[in-house]
Structure 1
Amino acid sequence: MKSFTPAWRAHATALWALAYGGLGAAWALGLPGYPWGASDPDPDGALSLLAGTTPRFGWWIAAFALLTAVTAEALTRRGDRRAPLLLAWPIAAILVLVIPDSRLMMGVAYTPLLLVAPVFGWSLGGATFADAWPWPVLNQLVCVLGGLLLAAAALAYGRDRGRARWFTPERGRTAVYVAAAVPLVYCVTRWAWALGIPLGVGPEFLAEGEDGLWLAGAYLATFGALGGVLTLGLTQRWGEVFPRWIPGLRGRRVPPLLAVIPAGFVSIIVTVAGLSYVRWTVAGRFSLEEWGAWLPECFWPVWGAALATATVSYHLRRRDGTRVRTGEPAA
């Protein structure tokens, strides 16, 4: 008999939801550490959609968590039913894309920079890991974890019923090329600023980063461009078998999760950050004259969606044991 969906994903999601729901209830009852509102170091509430809430909102968190737990457990039951998926995917989207904000990407992007800054003597304005990862941002990681667990359970539930057929190798290849190309628009602007070229901004704006800020931006842009190159591995043989020039690993099979985990996580943080820029653009916070400071980021949701599609397609292809492009059984 064909095995049913790996139930541990759904059970893990339910346990996560019950634990987080209990935390929400505790916040409502007065436990310190509520991650939004007055305790969130978001000065004008421009980042988080929950900035205006108070700890009493914890009761709503508890109710939402209970719904999440019930939905997750429904994904463990046999039967050809769509109802669990109709709830699971929206809940997962809220946890992964709505609750987090752009600070999640800032923390990920600046962590490597904070690691190498002491080596090169960069001060970074006195920024520390505590600045990059305060509790409200770490809480976003917790929410993303719950959303990913639920999405994994929903994907397996749908696949066992033949509903994951949208993620074909052909769509995966197209998505890879889109995901590799979109960040280059951002990279070009940041590289230009580092070279003193006011691409998409005025001279006054460019002068604000002469203290090394644009060099840091160029570093992050290069990091993004490198990620774009690595994205190509989702449809190339070196994404399945380590190349010959890698000592100790040459010719060995690339563990699928080695690509799926980082690519999936990056797809989330760039989408979240991009949605923030889209929201700020709609609110009129940017000027058209300085399009270079915000327009490239508005394309990040496209980047994230393409990368997520490419990642899921890669995961399903590796799981099915097919080679790149040929459809032959993997060795």
Structure 2
Amino acid sequence: MVSQAAEPRPVPGRFNRTTLIGYTAFFALLLYGLAHTYWALGGAGFPFGADDANPEYSAFPHLGRDRLAPWIAGWLLGSAAVALLMALPGRRRIPTLFLVGASAISAATVFFALADFRILGNVAYLFMLKFSAINWTVLNQLFAVVSVGLMVASAVVYQRRVSGACTRCGRSSATAGWTSPQVAARWGRKAAYLAVVVPLLYASTRWAWVLGFPLGLSDQLWEEGQKDHLWLYGAALATMGALGSLLTLGLVQRWGEVFPRWMVGLRGRRVPLSLAVVPAALVSIMVTIAGVMYIRLHFQGAFDNQKEDWGATVPEMIWPIWGLALATATLAYYFRRRGVCKRCARGEGFK
């Protein structure tokens, strides 16, 4: 292992992966900001608020294009400017905390206000070969999530750059011990087990319904769901979530690092890091967004007349715990398996 290493200086004018993240975030936010400017000026196709295909899920169900689009346009164009400042070479006179904080606020705005559970629902329906739920609003939500996701990634790279850490792996001579493989294994294991339990609690209510037990449902809603076969679809989606939660154990088990014997053609081979990290990270984002939406709707009073039907909404409110636990377990898995950095040559045991 390397005892100490300095991060290589990037070649002037040369693009690399970390550089491209920042510029991609800038162009995505700029493009989307210009789209909202078009809608603010009267263009057709605004996807949010009262113009949403399902405004009852929106954080702004009573605000239409004329009032909402100008605010979103200004926020997106401002976010694009922040992303550009972080992508440009050198260090800005603007405090790093401001730029990184603005990125976090932009992501929170999308997660709490623009995106909702329909992203997760559409992904689940795709696996069930049901494509009818995909609409213009969902596509816009996806673009917004990807755009601010790139902005957050750019903020991470910028913070590493100005602090003297490696822009690829984040290691520096002052890297905290909590990122070491041994320590990450301990806190990652606790997070992984939590990420297994929460979706099973949710799935148990849906399994109860399909088995004939109206847990947390009024008689009226129970009968309506039976007629429309909603409980079958609910149980199918819950089962997918439960199976996915069991895959979370791979983040702390041997078979999550080396393909097991029964996988003919792959057994004994190392599991690619991205094969585990990317899907887990995406699911953690989607379930967190979905859970936040249910919490938001609760405070908006959307469930005030459905207190007898708590089983249809309360279990989803714990999804943010699932999402954060899964994200934490995924981060620990990454720390355990990332190995020696190809850019700075730092690895486990460096000082």
CA contact (8 A) 1:286 1:294 kept: no
User: Which of 62, 66, 76 is matched with 1:65 structurally?
Assistant: 76
Match of 1:82, SS state, is: helix
The residue aligned with 1:129 is 131
The residue aligned with 1:293 is 312
1:27-53, Cα deviation, whole Å (9 max, x unpaired): 1223221112443222xx321113333
TM-score relative to the length of structure 1: 0.83
Match of 2:56, SS state, is: coil
The residue aligned with 2:3 is none
Is 2:190 the partner of 1:174? yes
Match of 1:291, SS state, is: helix
The residue aligned with 1:140 is 141
- Output the CA distance in 1 between the equivalents of 2:104 and 2:27: 18
Q: Could you tell me how far 1:288 is from its partner in structure 2? A: 4.1
Is 2:260 the partner of 1:243? yes
Greater shift, 186-195 or 145-154, is seen at 145-154
The residue aligned with 1:226 is 243
- Output the CA distance in 2 between the equivalents of 1:207 and 1:103: 25
Note closer, same or farther for the CA distance 1:281–1:139 as it changes in structure 2 (3 Å cut).
same
TM-score relative to the length of structure 2: 0.79
CA RMSD of aligned residues (A): 2.7
Paired residues for 1:81-96 under 5 Å = 81-96=96-111
The residue aligned with 2:7 is 2
1:222-252, Cα deviation, whole Å (9 max, x unpaired): 1010110111112222222222211222222
The residue aligned with 1:195 is 211
CA contact (8 A) 1:24 1:58 kept: yes
The residue aligned with 2:225 is 209
Match of 2:63, SS state, is: coil
* Structure 1 unmatched ranges of 5 or more: 116-127
- Higher relative contact order, chain-length normalized (CA < 8 Å, sep 6+): 2
Structure showing greater radius of gyration is: 2
Is 2:271 the partner of 1:254? yes
- Output the CA distance in 2 between the equivalents of 1:242 and 1:298: 35
The residue aligned with 2:330 is 311
User: Which of 25, 34, 38 is matched with 1:26 structurally?
Assistant: 38
CA contact (8 A) 1:172 1:310 kept: yes
- Output the CA distance in 2 between the equivalents of 1:176 and 1:13: 30
Instruction: Count how many residue pairs are aligned between Structure 1 and Structure 2.
Output: 309
The residue aligned with 2:58 is 48
- Partner amino acid, structure 2, of 1:53: L
Q: Could you tell me how far 1:105 is from its partner in structure 2? A: 2.0
- Partner amino acid, structure 2, of 1:89: A
Match of 1:277, SS state, is: helix
Give 4+ residue runs of structure 1 displaced > 4 Å after superposition. Answer: 77-80, 162-167
The residue aligned with 1:125 is none
